[in-house]
Chain A
Amino acid sequence: MSLTLGQVLALFGAALAVGLPGIGSARGVGIVGESAAGLVTEDPGKFGQALILQALPGTQGIYGFLAGFLTIQKIGLLAGNLVDITPYQGWLIFASCMPIAIVGFLSAIYQGRVAAAGIGIVSKRPEEVAKGITFSAMVETYAVLALLATILMLFGINI
């Protein structure tokens, strides 16, 4: 099987779309996990609330995975026969992967920091956990928008 430059570029974009937000989410979830573990040492009963906060920065990884999946579906890799892609189209696909790759990576880390601060809310005023979740969701907005941009760009490219 001989690959064209276009196909390589598209796959490279997909790899970045899955990889970078994945790293970001891992870090975000990790940051919250560290605070959460400290909280649970003191009060094991708050595990559930802490877990919700920890799950929040994990979505960027899922968004990235989603974008990557849609990309490899678009170039026909899933069906087993790669579509012939010109370098020009390859660059387009690569570009459309960038919003979620970059924003997903960074926003997951920032969201992780907000959620980790939310652990403080859980420890002192557990009844107010919804507010901590909301603060954290504010950060995620931009990951959602980036995902949306990626998807719309991807669907707009004709192969």
Chain B
Amino acid sequence: MAIVNMKKMHLLGLKREKEKILKVLQKTGIVEVIDIVEDEVSEDAKELNGEVQRSYVNQELNRELIDLENKLSNLKFGIDFLKPYVKPTNPLIHGKPNIKKDELQELLAKENSILESLQAVFDLDKEISQLKTKKSKLITQIEMLSPWRSLDIPLEQLGETGRTTFIAAVMPRKSKAELDKRIADEGLLAEITTLGESKDDVYTLVIYHKEHREPMEKLFKEYSVNLQDFGSLKGTPKELILAAENEIKDIDKEQENIKDKSKKLSDNIQNFEILYDYYTVEKDRKSAFLKVMDTDKTFSMQAWLPEEHEELVKSQISKVTDTVYMEFSEPSEEDDIPVLLSNPKLVEPFEVVTELYSLPDPRGLDPNLYMAPFFFVFFGMMLSDAGYGIIMCLLAGYALQKFKLAGTGKKFTALVFLCGVSTVIWGAIFGGWFGDLLGLKPLWINPLDNPLSVLILSFIMGIVQIYAGIILNAYKNIRAGKIVDALMDQGLWLVLLTGLLMFAMPELATVGKYMAIFGAAGLILTQGRSQKNIIKKFTSGVLSLYDITGYLSDILSYSRLLALGLTTGVIATVINTMAKTVSGSIIGYIVMALIIVGGHVFNLAINVLGAYVHSSRLQYIEFFGKFYDSGGRAFDPLKVKTTYVNLEDI
């Protein structure tokens, strides 16, 4: 159990069989290829003549990988483009479709025609974006022209005639009247006709005699009049708007057309998906090639695999070739071993909690087995409502039955289920069934009646977990052969803490006193043993006693078990009380039902979150802090990893 022992595989094979061997390993899916190229090239390659050749091989491989990447991103684009046009199927319920080997072969044979339809998708996309730009251009044109709608002169005829000048101008509303007045006062031959108005501006046609051009232009400047330039537009604004509107209609029709075409193409989506998965698998394998050393005729690779699968891998490889040399060795001191956890079925869901923190150090302890019972108990105690527990169990149980979950999702759902069970148990103990809705008597005690007893129970739980943490740390030391450290660092603390606890109980007080004194004295004498100077030895010994405050605050921290349990219960009771006050008439009963359902759903959601967060926290800070070495790297084997379909056999 716990952290799976890894072995290192050294494999030497013929270069022409490389593809075959890696394919087998990928199908087995339990081997993580180690990158040995990186270091070797930098150190040895300079001396080797083969350097040129190697980089050439890698270039070739890199080019292949880039090709694959391009293909994959194109396929992905096609899939995303067509997705809105097919009926969505939920992979959680139906699972991924299975694709047999011959189906895949058939598909690969007609790959070109599939890529053609992918090209068609690209063409459609291009058309869509062209139409979009065209449409937005037309819309701006309509917006620009609409204030000029009542201008009945074709735009190209604006400008100069023999004696006069026609111009379209926009001016602030205020300026118009003043401008009119100035023209009349100064006796200019000019006329301003209002064509349209907006909130602040008026749109006008200005006609003036050519001889008065200069004074007119001066006036324009003075009253901030903007001359409108229509560019190369031809025809009256009305006609132009109508034409643009018609064009937009055509574009809309065209867009509908494209939608139909896309719908027709959407039959291809499954082909795209299969190819996408096939090439993903191919890419994963080719990437592994980069981690393998080549010589002229042979290749050598190293890989991690779980100890237990050694025979399986051997037999799988010997099935495809005889000309291969394999050796399995224990990891050495400086190896970066990947971490794979293996725990009993009931503990497995709790791995999520640890994974969210950090994986264990490959040479450390897997905390899940020890952490799981505490998490289970604490979660239930913090939620402590049997009704809520039943709801959690039902929801999670339904999801486990109905959905095809895998990996973290499955673990998490199972965790919800188990926590639900714990919640039911604690709910029954504390008498919480949707608060006081059912009025059932508690099996032990209602925390509202006697919070002190429950508080003491919380502290006892905390003491148990902290002891467990210290003992695990001692175990870790003993396993590493540091028995003296285990006795002095953890053993003496256990003596001191136990002494202090006994001191709190009257009948054991005397024994406890001497135990505590013994423990404290031992700590003062031993904790400074790494110091050389005798005074420093003594001072660090005394200072180490200061850690007692740490243990005290750790234990007090478990009071949240009571506090969060009370929160759930009291708020549930409040909801029930509120609901009862409105009952009486038919409408009253409906409102009551709404309050009860809505209120309890809210309370459940907020308190499940709280219970999860705080029971995780107790593990992370109070428990893991005592013994846990984190920082492992997850085992990431080369395997057939697909997104859309299951490729049974490739």
Contact = CB atoms under 8 A, between A and B. Distances in A.
B88 to A, nearest CB: 17
Contacts of A78: 577
A144 B563 contact: yes
Contact of B563 (A70, A133, A134, A151): A151
Interface string B598-612: 000000001001100
B566 A66 contact: yes
B556 A145 contact: yes
Contact of A66 (B356, B560, B562, B570): B570
A134 B617 contact: yes
Interface size class of B (residues with CB under 8 A): 20 to 34
B620 interface: yes
B557 interface: yes
Contact of A130 (B356, B559, B609, B614): B356
Question: For this complex, into which size category does the number of interface residues on chain A fall?
Answer: 20 to 34
A155 B451 contact: yes
Nearest to A152: B451
A42 B108 CA distance: 38
B567 interface: yes
A37 interface: no
Given A78-B577, A138-B617, A69 B559 contact: no
Interface string A68-82: 011000000010000
B478 interface: no
Contact of B613 (A56, A58, A63, A155): A56
Interface in A63-104: 63, 65-66, 69-70, 78
A69 B570 contact: yes
A17 to B, nearest CB: 13
**Which of B455, B557, B566, B577 has the most A CB atoms < 10 Å from its CB?**
B566
Contacts of B556: 145
A148 B562 CA distance: 8
Interface in A95-151: 130-131, 133-134, 137-138, 140-141, 144-145, 147-148, 151
A144 B571 contact: no
A147 B509 CA distance: 32
A1 B307 CA distance: 81
A151 to B, nearest CB: 6
Interface string A43-77: 00000000010011011001101100110000000
A62 B567 contact: yes
A144 B571 CA distance: 15
Contacts of B559: 144-145, 148
Given A141-B557, A145-B559, A151-B451, A66 B567 contact: yes
Given A62-B606, A66-B567, A134 B620 contact: yes
Nearest to B352: A130
B77 interface: no
A137 B574 CA distance: 25
Contacts of A144: 559-560, 563-564, 614
Interface in B253-268: none
Contacts of B574: 65, 69
22 contacts: A55-B609, A56-B609, A59-B567, A62-B606, A65-B571, A66-B566, A66-B570, A70-B570, A78-B577, A130-B357, A130-B616, A134-B613, A134-B621, A137-B616, A141-B560, A144-B614, A148-B559, A148-B560, A148-B563, A151-B566, A152-B452, A155-B451
Q: Which 7 A-B pairs have the closest CB atoms?
A: A130-B356, A144-B560, A137-B617, A148-B563, A144-B563, A137-B613, A66-B570
Interface of A: 52, 55-56, 58-59, 62-63, 65-66, 69-70, 78, 130-131, 133-134, 137-138, 140-141, 144-145, 147-148, 151-152, 155
